[in-house]
């Protein structure tokens, strides 16, 4: 099993590094062009691994948040990694249900994707969004932490792209 994780880790490094040459000095621009990988989660049956991939920002809009999606790959390496749901733009924190029949993830709210389905269902509707969550041990409930809804001043500040709020 450890050997499998080592091979997966090496594959992920090559997946994320893309076309960087071993003979080239890495510049700050190169670092910003690398896909970031995070939040690896092994399915309860050990057959699949999901992880988050943050794509590089477009140089024309560096202030925009990075696009993130959840990818899945068989743990045995029999297939290449692929996006779990194509075209997601803000997906994070994938978590398998305890029995492995469903996968929950965050995209401002909690979404649930059951095995065999192609579309995720939203399971929360919190005005300020969801910060974090955890499955109950029996997999029948999800506990979560909701964010406070932004004040009018905070919303105006974000819309104006201000970095700080001065009070």
What mean pLDDT, rounded, does the chain reach? 81
Percentage of the chain modeled with pLDDT above 70: 78
Residue 135: Cβ-neighbour burial (10 angstroms; 0-12, 13-18, 19+): middle
**Distance separating alpha carbons of residues 159 and 20, to the nearest angstrom:** 36
Closest CA to 53 of 25, 20, 94: 94
**Per residue in 76-85, pLDDT tens?**
999 999 998 8
Both tokens of residue 148?
């406070």
Both tokens of residue 75?
């743990």
pTM for the model: 0.72
**Per residue in 4-56, pLDDT tens?**
554 455 455 545 555 545 577 888 777 777 888 899 999 999 999 999 998 88
């Amino acid at each position: 099993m450890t050997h499998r994780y080592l091979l997966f880790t090496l594959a992920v490094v090559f997946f994320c590094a893309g076309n960087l040459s071993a003979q080239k000095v890495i510049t700050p621009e190169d670092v910003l062009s690398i896909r970031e990988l995070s939040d690896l989660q092994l399915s309860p049956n050990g057959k699949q691994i999901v992880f988050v991939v943050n794509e590089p920002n477009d140089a024309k809009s560096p202030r925009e948040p990075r696009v993130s999606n959840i990818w899945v790959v068989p743990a045995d390496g029999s297939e290449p990694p692929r996006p779990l749901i194509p075209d997601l733009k803000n997906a994070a924190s994938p978590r398998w249900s305890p029995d492995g029949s469903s996968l929950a993830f965050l995209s401002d709210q909690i979404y649930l994707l059951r095995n065999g389905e192609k579309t995720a269902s939203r399971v929360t509707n919190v005005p300020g969004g969801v910060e974090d969550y955890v499955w109950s041990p029996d997999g029948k409930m999800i506990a979560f932490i909701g964010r406070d809804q932004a004040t009018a001043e905070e919303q105006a500040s974000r819309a104006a792209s201000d970095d700080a709020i001065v009070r």
